[in-house]
Amino acid sequence: MTEMIYDYDPAAALENNDAIAVFLTDALETGDSAYIAKAMGVVARAKGMAELARETGLSREQLYRSFSEQGNPTLKTLLAVMRALGVDLTVRPHETKRDDPIPS
């Protein structure tokens, strides 16, 4: 018996701002800039590149290039896209492990 293998597009699961926020939080926690850029591209596709371009004032080509695996979006681009996506970029302190010295 042969099993069918289907392509999975994570953009299909990003149906609301909560799902987008969880997806991007996970990507940001990796600390891998290429992975983060690619994840932003997935979210941008879920929203629709044309709509995102219109809302941000950026070209579709710039968005595709910035959020490809080789992309390196500027902070300005990242913030504009996140605002258009309806999510915020926040920071929190690193959680310290029990063995880590407490910063003074």
Mean pLDDT by 10 residues, the chain (104 residues): 80 85 90 88 90 94 87 90 88 72 63
pLDDT value at position 72? 87
Spatial contact of 27 and 93, defined as CB atoms under 8 Å apart: no
Rounded CA-CA distance 31/20 in Å is: 18
Give the residue ranges of DSSP H helices in the chain: 17-30, 33-47, 49-56, 60-66, 75-85
pLDDT value at position 7? 82
The CATH code for residues 14-85 is: 1.10.260
Rounded CA-CA distance 62/68 in Å is: 10
Rounded CA-CA distance 72/66 in Å is: 5
CA 20 to chain centre: 8
pLDDT value at position 62? 92
